[in-house]
Homo-oligomer: A and B are copies of this chain.
Amino acid sequence: MSLNYAKRMDNIRASEIRELLKLTQQPNIISFAGGMPAPESFPIEEFVKIGKEVLEKSGNLALQYGPTEGYQPLREAIAKRMAKIKVDAKAENILVTSGSQQGLDFAAKVFINPGDIIVCESPTYLGAINAFKAYEPKFIEVSTDEDGMNMEELEEALKNNENVKFIYVIPDFQNPTGKTWSIERRKKLVELGNKYNVAIIEDSPYGELRFEGEVLPAIKHFDTEGRVAFLGTFSKILCPGLRLGWVEADTELLNKFILVKQGADLQSSTISQMEAAKFFELYDIDAHIQKIIDLYKVRRDVMMKTIEEEFPKEVSYTYPEGGLFTWVILPEYMNARELALKALEENVAYVPGGSFFPNGGNENTFRLNYSNMNEEKIIEGIKKLGKVIKDALR
C-alpha cells in the first residue's frame, strides 16, 4: 500500500538542523549547531508572576478562542516597539503568528505558484528554504558582501526573469553568515522592488541583538508602496517556547496573510499572546534585551578570539556585530559534512553550510552558533574544531 501524495512532498526534506539537534541533545555534546537562545536569559520568574496574573484576572479570555489577527494589546505593543527600527506601524498592520517561521510559510503561500521564482541571499536561512520549497518555487541566489546583497546581480536577476514573486532577505546579522546590510543597500533594495514590482520579505529575528554600533532602520522603513512584509519574532528577545512572532505589512498585503492564517490554524495561542502583552506592560523589555546582549557579546568575543587563535589561516569567517551566528569558509577541497562526523566524534556539533544554499553546492562551509554554550565550552569546542580542521588540511 502506498498513498498518493501531493507533488510538493517530493521537495520537502527533514531539516538537517532539527535532525542534528536530536543528536546533540546528549549533555556531553558541545553544540554550535542550533540557533537556540541561552536559557539563562529566559525570564522564568517573571513568567510565573505573569501566568498567574493573566489567568486570575482574565482566565476566561486567556483559555478561549480569540481573533485571527491577534490579541489587540499585543498588536499594539508590537506596533509601538517597531519604532525602534524606524517603522511607523499601527496595531492594525500587525498579524501575530506562531513564530516568524509561520510568517515564512505564509509568504510563500500568499505569493508562490509552482515554478515562480524567489530571489534570496546566497546562502540563506535553511528553515526558510524548507518552508518555501513546499510551494515548489525556483530559487535565484544572489551573492552578498560585507554590505549585504549585491545590487547589480540582483537587478540582473529581476530584469531577466518575469515571474520573480518576492525577494527574501535577512538584513541584520544574517542567518547563517552573520552579515548586516548597509543603509544604502536597504534603500536600493526597495527602489529595485518598486522598479520591477516585486514584493520583499524582510526577516529580522536578531535585529535588536546588536553588540556594538547603532540599531539600523528596517528595510520596511524605506517602503513607500506597501510591498515589504516585515517578519519579527519573540523567540530571540524573550523566548522561543511561546511560539510567537508577527508580520507587519500594509493593509492589502497583511489581509492576504490574515486569510492564510485563518485556514492554517485559526489563531496563535491566546494565553501566550496575553502573557507576552503582560510582559510588555509589567517589565522593561529594553533592559531584558540588554541582558541578552551582554551575555551573547561575551560569547561572541570568546568564540571569535578562539577561532582566531585555533583555526588555520586557510579558513575565513565573518565577524558578526550581533545576532547568534558566525560563518566559516574552509578551503574548497574540504567537505564540511564529512568533517561534521569527525567533529561529532570529538563531541562538537555545527551545521554544514551546504544546506543553506537552496540550489546546492558550497559544501566547504559551515555555521557556528555562540548563544547556547557557555564560554568554557566555546573555548573547548572551538579548540577541538580547530584540530579537526587542521587534520584535514592538505
Contact = CB atoms under 8 A, between A and B. Distances in A.
A108 to B, nearest CB: 8
Given A64-B239, A243-B267, 10 more contacts: A6-B116, A6-B165, A36-B64, A64-B241, A101-B264, A101-B265, A131-B264, A240-B270, A243-B265, A243-B266
Q: Give the interface size bracket for A toward B.
A: 35 or more
Nearest to A35: B65
Nearest to A270: B241
Contacts of A105: 263-265
Contact of A111 (B6, B39, B65, B102): B6
A263 B134 CA distance: 8
Nearest to A97: B265
A349 to B, nearest CB: 15
Given A51-B52, A113-B7, A265 B99 contact: yes
A15 interface: yes
Nearest to A239: B63
Interface string A61-90: 011111110000000000000000000000
Interface stretch (A253-261, A328-336, A339-347, A382-390): A253-261
Copies in the complex: 2
Contacts of A34: 65
A63 B127 contact: no
A59 interface: yes
A227 interface: yes
Interface stretch (A40-48, A305-313, A362-370): A40-48
Nearest to A135: B6
A288 interface: no
Interface of A: 1-9, 12-15, 18, 21-22, 34, 36-37, 39, 42, 44, 47-48, 51-52, 55-56, 59-60, 62-68, 97-99, 101-102, 105, 109-113, 116, 127, 130-131, 133-135, 165, 197, 199, 225-227, 235, 239-243, 252-253, 256, 258-260, 262-272
B37 A44 contact: no
Closest 4 CB pairs of A and B: A44-B59, A63-B239, A51-B51, A39-B60
Contacts of A242: 63, 269, 271
